[in-house]
Every structure is written in structure tokens, then in C-alpha cells.
Amino acid sequence: MENEGMTAAPAEAVEAAPPAVGTAQALAERGAELLLAGGPVVAILLAMSVVAVAILVLKLWQFRKARLWGRAPARRALALYRGGNAAEALVVAAGSANPVARALALAIRGRERRDLPDSLVREEVVRAGSEMLESLRTFFRPLEVIATLAPLLGLFGTVLGMISAFQQLEAAGNRINPAILSGGIWEALLTTAVGLAVAIPTVAAVNWLERIVDRLAHEMDSVVTQVFTEDLSIPHRGQDGHAQAAYRPAVAGAAE
């Protein structure tokens, strides 16, 4: 009896599998029907969606490879440099693939060369940082184009579908069938729905990616600037060893 129960369970599992396969097949057939109903416009929109997804995956892989979310090494290197340990700070910054850390390593390396003025060092750091940011912004323009054109293509397909529907209605003459008009309308509106379905997530993805790069650019500028400036939050100490006031009146009579 136990063997019969053990052999019956797999058989039931095998019998339960075909409905899932049938559901997937039904969905595939339904998708093919919608593609045929939408015409070439829907096919173009689907191709654009594939391109958008491919670009998004590529950018996420690039951001992950560049360690955009790993900003701790840059902050640690900056703290070491401001603490007077330039050698260790350079090792920490140069060992990270994060663009902020790379720009910081370039700035520290330039400051350590006493024969170079700070203005030339900063100019080179800004140039290198701009190139790194530009590489992170690649393929943003195609995503923006897809986000802009997708709803317009959907609207264009809707207009073409409405024209076709009214042509069929006109050809029917006195034998007007509401099904002809309603069928043509929903097929026409299908392109608008597909266009919006492609455009909305693409717009969200573009804005999210741009926000990541903008925050990175802001942090890069802040970190690099701190290499060439002094930390004013630390009280300045005079020759007598006592902390001096950070604020001094600009006018001689202001203290009276």
C-alpha cells in the first residue's frame, strides 16, 4: 500500500503539470493576438522596450562594477588625509574603483607633488572627474529618446487604428455593425496603452539613474574641494596653544 501511495503522488504531479503549460501557452497566444492587432507600431514599441531593458541592465552592471554605492573608502581616505596621513590615504583611495575615491587619489597625488601649483592639480582633477561622470552618463540619451517617443508612437498607432476603423464603417454602408467600430477602437487604443507601458518605467529609470550620477558628482566635488581647503570646524590654536575665536570683526570698532 505504501508503494502504491508513493507511485501515485508523482503521477498526480504529472497530471497537474499540463494546466500550467496550457496557461502559459494561452498567454503566449493572447500576446501574439495583441501583437497582430496592434500592428507594426506595437512591434516597434516592444523592440524599444527590449532596448530599454538592455540599457538598464548594462547601466546597473556598470554602476556595480564602479562601486557607486561603496563610498566609505573615499570618506575614510579623506579623513586620513586631513589627519595628516597622506600615504595611507592614497593607498585607501587608490584601492577603490569608486569614481569619488579615484578622483580623491588623483588630488592627493597631485598635492604631494610640491612642484605643481594647486590650480593645475585642481584643473586636472576636474578634467578626470568630468570624464568619469561622462562615462557613467552613456546611453542616457537613448533612454530619454525611448521615453519621449513611446507615447507618441502609441498615439500615432491609435490615430491609424481609428482611421482604419472608420474606413471599415464607411465601407459597411447601411449595414452598420457596432462591433466593427468597437473592435477597431480597442485595437487602436491598444497602441496607446503599450506606448504608455513602455514610457512610464523608462522615464522612472532615467530619472533614477540621473539622480545617482548627480549625487555622485556632488560628492566628488565636495571631497576633492576638501583636499585643497582647511577644516574650519576645528578651532585654530595660536602660538600660546590656546584656541582662538573663529570669528573676528571685520571693522575695528565693531568689537567696542
| Average pLDDT value for the chain | 79
User: What is the pLDDT at residue 190?
Assistant: 86
pLDDT over 90 (residue 12): no
Please give the average per-residue pLDDT across 95-109, as a whole number. 92
pLDDT over 50 (residue 6): no
Of residues 25 and 155, the one with the higher pLDDT is: 155
pLDDT tier, 219 (very low <50, low <70, confident <90, very high otherwise):
very high
d(Cα 23, Cα 157) in Å, to the nearest integer?
A: 29
Which pTM was predicted? 0.74
Highest mean pLDDT among 15-29, 71-85, 201-215: 201-215
Please give the average per-residue pLDDT across 2-23, as a whole number. 50
d(Cα 38, Cα 24) in Å, to the nearest integer?
A: 21
User: What is the pLDDT at residue 208?
Assistant: 96
User: What is the pLDDT at residue 125?
Assistant: 92
Please give the average per-residue pLDDT across 189-197, as a whole number. 90
Please give the average per-residue pLDDT across 39-61, as a whole number. 92
pLDDT over 60 (residue 76): yes
d(Cα 95, Cα 97) in Å, to the nearest integer?
A: 7
